[in-house]
Structure 1
Amino acid sequence: MTTPQDVLAPSSRLSGRVLIAICVTVLAWASAFVVIRGVAPHFGGGALALGRLTVGVVLLSTMVIGRKWVRPTLREWLLILLFGIAWFGAYNAALNTAEHSLDAGTTSMLVNIGPILIALGAGVFLGEGIPKWLAIGAGVAFVGVVLIGISTAVSGFGDGTGVLWALLAAVTYAIGVLSQKRVLRRLPAAQVTFLGCAIGMLACTPFLPQLIGDLQTAPASSILGAIYLGAVPTALAFSTWAYALSRMPAGQLGVTTYVVPAITIVLSLLFFHEVPASLAILGGIVCLAGVAVSRRRSRVIAEQIGS
């Protein structure tokens, strides 16, 4: 049985591989918001989710072929089912739909209330607790997220429907992470990621007719964008996320994604020539400060373990 101390201890000595995995995940997911916005005019939300997950399943299957298969228990199967439907299926469909009416920066800001839900859920359901510095860091980062939200609202982007879809994406994101964390305690990360992606793809199969129609009319650039979403933010980033999640607390890892809105805004500037307002830039800086504050948790725990 894993105790809270067992779960927390690895985070006090994060290896270089874990840090690289976190960086890859954050950059890939930030790029996803921008690419989704770019291809949104040519793909429905559910159709894009199905196409993205199909590419992801094909690529992720190469990571489990020939490797030892660990048989999940019934309880683990139920958690994997929840993980796949919530995060891979519902999250992607909701996120894609949100970006039909919201800009990438606003959507990423709203989705990033997810780490707050993850931290609270991990403290209550996974026994990780809510240490002081994690709570302070989450609060500081949340202020940054709010500043970005105010900035984009003042700019006149978005509508109520898109906001609701983005909030749904945040909730399903949190549910997926908490479910995934439980099964990663025993099952290999690659196996869990593949199963989750496959389940999400199956959950999105009702959108197959729409996907076929969209593929027939979408330009080549948008089709390549959908393939990118399946290859990088899905197959690669979900793998690096699972690797990091299996080696550190869910709440602490979730806080690192607070930097995603800031990166998304920069990418939107480069590709869509959207100039962030000064308040949005300030919000991004505050988000990064919150992540830095939350990392003090590791040093405090390390001192406690060594004493």
Structure 2
Amino acid sequence: MLPSLWFFLDDFSEVGEKTIKNFVNVVLSPLNNWANDFICFKVAAYPNRVYYGDIDVGKIDIVDLDFYNLYSRYDKSTMESLSVDFTKRLLQQRISGFCRKDFSEYFDISSTSIDEYCDLIFKTSMNVPRIVGYILYYCHQTHTSLGRKNTRQAIEVAAENYYEKVVSKFFDIATHSLMSFSEKVSELQQKELLDLVVSKLKSVKRQISSGEFSGLIYNKERTNPYCSHFHFQPNLEHFLRTLELNFFVTKYNEMVNKKGVKVSIYGLNYGLSKSQNLRWGRPRRNAV
């Protein structure tokens, strides 16, 4: 007799909202509630595209894989170091396990260290394994398949290719686009919102470069300032959910601004930043 029966459902959120709700109500919820642990489910779903139906959320294990939700309980420095460590372990274990080779076989470490590569791949992927795969796929096309080792520039070009060939297709009419549940904003309005954010960041870049923003923190990087992150009021975050779901933006942190008001910090997709000539990252506090 079987002690238990397990079902693994991947990419569960990629079907339509009505289909998800029907499946949960008719199959998933009854079996989960009645089977007394004999029937077990492991379901992978996107944030903001989750429906529980009659499932008691307090009696199931919810494991966050999203960068912010996974590490937000730590301070920013620890959060970033843990994220880069995840990227490093992911790459080294896959290269060792599947290729039986070292990291240096595929990456030029003469001028860029392994840690620097992992930091860059974290920034381009926000620790989403699927995006890491896309980045390495485009690197394979331009470098690995030609017998060339990957460089920082190769990864940055791959990030831009990923944005242009995959992420930006969300706005194509013929593309099946993932929307967060209860989304009231159309794809066209999402595009207008994204364009507004990019336009504002370009304006900030001009103001830093011209000296209109005179803070000491900008002095070291006047000619090429960091302009990829922005803050949003928490009560308005629902407007960004679909853009975040489709990797145009990523929630990076929460903080209190100079006025004592809580704000949420978001970062643009790395490839989008590159395509718009916006330097990705943030200045160091001791930059003078």
Fold conserved (TM > 0.5)? no
Pick the TM interval, shorter chain.
under 0.3
The normalised TM-score by structure 2 is 0.25
**Normalized per residue, which structure has more helix?**
1
**Normalized per residue, which structure has more strand?**
2
The normalised TM-score by structure 1 is 0.23
Larger radius of gyration: 2
